[in-house]
Structure 1
Amino acid sequence: MSSAATPSRGHTPAPPSDPLSLPRILCLHGGGVTGDVFKAQARSLIKYLPDFRLVFADGPFFCDPGPGIVPVYEDCGPFRRWLRWLPEHPEIDDESAVEEVMYAVESAKRADEGTGPWVGLMGFSQGAKLSASLLYDQQIRIEKEGKADTDYKFAVMLAGRSPLVSFCDYSQSPALVSAGRISEGFHYEGESPHVLSIPTIHVHGLNDLGLHLHRKMLKQYHDPKAVTLIEWDGIHRVPIKKVDVEPITAAIYKVARKQGVDV
């Protein structure tokens, strides 16, 4: 496990000459918001990632606004989610849940006018859980079939809590929650047989009430040799201040370059 503390770029971000051709990161919002709200929440990250094109997707299911969304973003609905986390969320079978999530992801990717490769995922809260789960789905398909439809090089997990979500038969396990189940309150003890070895960057707010679950996700489901951990003095939100954002974006550049991304 490694940590990042200082930015590597060392200059004020400059606008790219051709923003459409930049390598793309698919960004997945938390529960009870929208892609546009996440884009607003992530405005500082966007500023300090000028060599990437960040594309913000909308989750497939409607729901009430998430914690802290009202009153700032109350006019930005209807609000959405990727997964069930409350009993009042309508029941759905696993196959349908997988289809809905994948359709929403692919729709966002097709709608973007960019031409660069899709190199990474970035999510906040439920979107972070989803980012890691999609990355693991890619990994296990390659392990079992020798190929996958995606070629993500890394994921950025902002306050991502355990567990991983299973999106195919290969990852069905007591250690993972299935796509149609409620993930809140899921508990698995011991070592998971499903461990993500593609690089991930974990951003943990030290005053986040869910910190123990973020640490559980990192410990149980990620290869420590492929992890970059960044801790900051914050609550359950996307970092905004330069002092908090620069270590995150520096880590993204470092991991991306190590994975062969041209930035």
Structure 2
Amino acid sequence: MSLPNAPTNDTTLNIPRLLCFHGGGTNSKIFKVQCRGLEKALRETFRFVYVEAPYISYPGPDVVQVYKHMAPFKGWLRWRDEDELRSSPEAVERINAAIKIAIDEDDKEGATGEFVGVLGFSQGAKLAASILYTQQQLREVMHERSGWPPFRFGILLAGRTPMVWLNADYDGPIGTVDAAAVSTAPTDHLPPMLDSQKLSVPTLHVHGMQDPGLPLHRKFLHNCCDSSSTTLLEWDGSHRIPFKHADVDQLVQEILKLARGT
């Protein structure tokens, strides 16, 4: 894709848009705060559109310490056995409705830029990748459209297996789970994804080297994504969004490189 020149005013209404998915146990407002450094650095290139998850959730790790005043906390997928039970069709419907609300609200604000990519953190990275994956399979195997914008790339920060199948009309490919599953459950029982069915949409994987979940993030990269379409960025951080200038700058350069290649 071609990237825009710097705008002559403060508006981002006509530049390409990224659909952004927060982690489990937070919400879109918290994610906007967490991404403030990244969004500021990319403000002349992308407009960030934050989606609010549809389900009330137990707060994520360390969320209450900083963001207690920003409740309620939300989630996309079940991540504890005691989380509210739901059917896969219902979960898919509510996720799609949340996406539509975010897009419609941004359109009403006057935004006209094309949605070109997805960005997600933790559970939101799993969801963002699963959207790309479901869209890819529907297009290439079922020869159908997904109903989402035709995303070209994904920015996945601390994503983990398994890939979630987000379509209620067809069974998911080998190695995926449905949207009603506990997203943090062990995946050893799942058969491996076929190489021919891995995610091949270009993705940037961002891994914090101090993140306790690093082995799971690496497993997601290698087991679910075609190596020819992935870029890995490792940084000296834990389970969070980079916010120091040097870390953000490195991430920005990789995002721009990814976008220009699509």
Calculate the TM-score normalised by the size of structure 2. Answer: 0.90
Please report how far the alpha carbon of residue 16 of structure 1 lies from its aligned counterpart in structure 2 after TM superposition.
5.5
1:171 deviates by: 5.4
Name which of structure 1's ranges 131-140 and 171-180 shifts more when overlaid on structure 2: 171-180
2:240 corresponds in structure 1 to 237
Kindly provide the amino acid, as one letter, of the partner of residue 198 in structure 1.
V
C-alpha distance in structure 1 between counterparts of 2:63 and 2:23, whole Å: 11
| Counterpart residue number, 2:3 | none
Q: Which runs of 5+ in 1 are unaligned?
A: 1-12
Percent pairwise identity: 42
Alpha-carbon distance in structure 1 between the residues aligned to 2:173 and 2:87: 16
Alignment correspondent of 1:164: 163
Q: Which residue pairs with 2:15 in the alignment?
A: 22
**How many angstroms apart in 2 are the aligned matches of 1:16 and 1:224?**
40
The corresponding residue for 1:179 is 179
Structure 1 runs (4+) greater than 6 angstroms displaced:
none
Choose from 48, 51, 57 the match for 1:63: 57
Tell me by how many angstroms 1:45 deviates: 0.6
Counterpart in 1 of 2:213? Answer: 210
> Per-residue displacement from partner, 1:28-72 (whole Å, max 9, x unpaired)?
000111101000001111011121000111000001211111121
- Distance (whole Å) between structure 1 residues aligned to residue 200 and residue 9 of structure 2: 31
- The whole-number CA distance in structure 2 between the counterparts of 1:33 and 1:100 is 17
Q: One-letter code of the match for 1:157? A: L
Question: Conserved in 2, the CA contact under 8 Å of 1:177 and 1:186?
Answer: no
C-alpha separation in 1, matches of 2:122 and 2:201:
19
- The 1:88–1:204 alpha-carbon spacing in structure 2 relative to 1, beyond 3 Å, is same
The question of whether the paired residues in 1 share the 8 Å contact of 2:207 and 2:235 is answered with yes
| Alignment-derived partner of residue 193 in structure 2 | 192
- Aligned pairs for 1:26-105 (under 5 A) are 26-50=19-43, 51-105=45-99
Q: CA RMSD in A?
A: 1.8
1:190 shift after superposition: 5.9
String of CA shifts for 1:9-40, please: whole Å, max 9, x gaps: xxxx9885541001000100001111010000
Contact 2:174/2:192 (8 A) holds in 1: no
Name the amino acid aligned to 2:15. L
User: Which letter does structure 2 place at the counterpart of 1:137?
Assistant: T
In structure 2, the residue matched to 1:122 is 119
Distance 2:129 2:118 in 1: 8
Shift of 1:107: 0.8
Gaps of 5+ in 2: 1-5
Range that drifts further, 164-173 or 53-62: 164-173
Distance 1:246 1:190 in 2: 38
* Distance in 2, Cα, partners of 1:66 & 1:212: 19
Q: How many residues align?
A: 248
Equivalent in the alignment of 1:10: none
Is the Cα contact below 8 Å between 2:92 and 2:166 reproduced in 1? yes
Query: Structure 2 CA distance, aligned partners of 1:70 and 1:42?
Result: 18
CA distance in 2, matches of 1:187, 1:237: 24
- State how far apart, in whole Å, the 1-side matches of 2:243 and 2:171 are: 35
Deviation at residue 146 of structure 1 after TM alignment: 4.9
Q: TM-score of the superposition, structure 1-length normalised?
A: 0.89
1-structure distance, mates of 2:10, 2:80:
45
Structure 2 CA distance, aligned partners of 1:186 and 1:247?
33
Instruction: Write the letter of the residue equivalent to 2:136.
Output: Q
In structure 1, distance between residues paired with 2:225 and 2:66: 34
Larger RCO: Structure 1 or Structure 2 (Cα < 8 Å, ≥ 6 residues apart)?
1
Counterparts of 2:257 and 2:82, CA distance in 1: 42
**Alignment of 1:134 onto 2:142:** no
> What is the deviation of 1:148?
3.7
Over 3 Å counting, the alpha-carbon distance change for 1:16 and 1:68 in structure 2 is farther
